[in-house]
Amino acid sequence: MRVLIVDDEPYMIEYIKKLVDWRNYGFCQVLTAKGGSMARDLLLEYRPELLVTDIKMPKLSGLDLSRIIKENHYPTKVVIISGYSEFEYAKQAIRYGVSEYLVKPVLKNDFEESLERVLEKSFDRQAGVENREGVTNNQADVIYCIKKYIGVNYDKNLSLDALGELVHLHPAYLSKIFKEATDVNLSNYIMEVRMQKAAQLLEQTELQIRKVMEQVGYQKSQYFSKLFKDKYGVTPKEYRRIKQK
């Protein structure tokens, strides 16, 4: 297999190139391109199995390359590396079939986990075939993307309408397939992620509790405290005191 690494910054190309032992993951050739125009030519010539690309580059961006791959039905899977976690970037990435969306700084463990997830999905599988749980592969991809987005953007608007727009599904249908696949309501999943992040912030930082609340996407302190106590059995203030002893 071949991997193509693309960035307009040479140091970033070298960083990704040396971040993992590519041969251990089955890649016998590591191609590099300084910018989107060169990458487009290499995509046409080599049809690599994997593209790892920066999202924002002159002339042709990572999203442009993703669109070219999708429109030409190339077999290439895409990992986007971005300094941006904004909704619009993630939405476009999903629209073009991007497999992974990593926000800088990219750490070795995070990159390896993303790479392993890409490799777990067969490069030649048939879209739409049902798995053992009766959830199609397309639906599984949607659920994975939703989970990934929530994990990065837990402080943002995560309403059903917003998430449905992200993956181009009716909010009610998205809620239905998420529950069928995970046995968890989407709203409960979001709450669990936010509570876990809140607990980490309370334990590992000195942020005021109100700031912690805001950083995990809540605006009303009484509601936040109730959810936190339901989850951990103590208030946020009590939790911090216990953990800091």
Looking at 124, 151, 169, the residue that finishes a domain is 124
165 in a structural domain: no
Q: How confident is the model at residue 95 (pLDDT cuts 50, 70, 90)?
A: low
Residue type (1 letter), 83: G
Per the structure, the complete domain to which residue 195 belongs is given by 188-244
Q: How many domains does the chain have?
A: 2
**193/119 same-domain check:** no
Q: Which residues contact 170 (CB under 8 A, 6 or more apart)?
A: 164
Q: Which of the given ranges, 9-13, 54-58, 69-73, 175-179, has the highest pLDDT on average?
A: 9-13
Q: What is the 3-state secondary structure (H, E, C) of 40-72?
A: HHHHHHHCCCEEEEECCCCCCCHHHHHHHHHHC
Residue 218 has pLDDT above 60, yes or no: yes
Instruction: Report helix, strand or coil for 30.
Output: strand
| CA angle 81–84–87, rounded 5-degree value | 115
Average pLDDT over residues 112-121: 80
Among residues 2, 30, 37, which one has the least CA distance to residue 16? 30
The whole-number average pLDDT for the span 218-243 is 93
| Neighbour tally for 33: CB within 10 Å | 22
The per-residue pLDDT for range 52-83, each reduced to its tens digit, is: 999 888 888 888 998 899 888 888 899 888 87
- 197 and 118 together in one domain: no
| Ordered alpha helix ranges (H), 153-220 | 160-167, 171-182, 186-204, 209-215
Q: Is residue 107 part of a domain?
A: yes
Contacts 24+ apart (CB under 8 A), 68-75: 68/40, 68/43, 69/43, 69/96, 69/97, 70/96, 70/97, 74/43, 74/47, 75/47, 75/49, 75/123, 75/124
**How many angstroms separate the CA atoms of 102 and 113, rounded?**
11
Single residue among 124, 151, 177 that ends a domain in this structure = 124
Give the pLDDT score at 129. 37
What type of residue is 149?
Y
Residue 124: pLDDT band with limits 50, 70, 90:
very low
The first and second tokens of residue 209, run together, are 């509790």
Q: Tell me, what's the pLDDT at 88? A: 63
Query: Against a cut of 0.75, is the pTM above it?
Result: no
Last residue of a domain, one of 68, 96, 124: 124
What CATH number does residue 230 fall under? 1.10.10.60
Are 110 and 16 within one domain?
Answer: yes
Which residue did the predictor score with more confidence, 87 or 106?
Answer: 106
User: Which CATH number do you get for residue 119?
Assistant: 3.40.50.2300
Pairing of strands 50-54, 2-6: parallel
Instruction: Give me the pLDDT at residue 134, please.
Output: 44
pLDDT category of residue 14 using cuts at 50, 70 and 90: very high
Task: Say if residue 138's pLDDT is above 70.
Answer: no
Q: Give the confidence band of 133 by pLDDT, cuts at 50, 70, 90.
A: very low
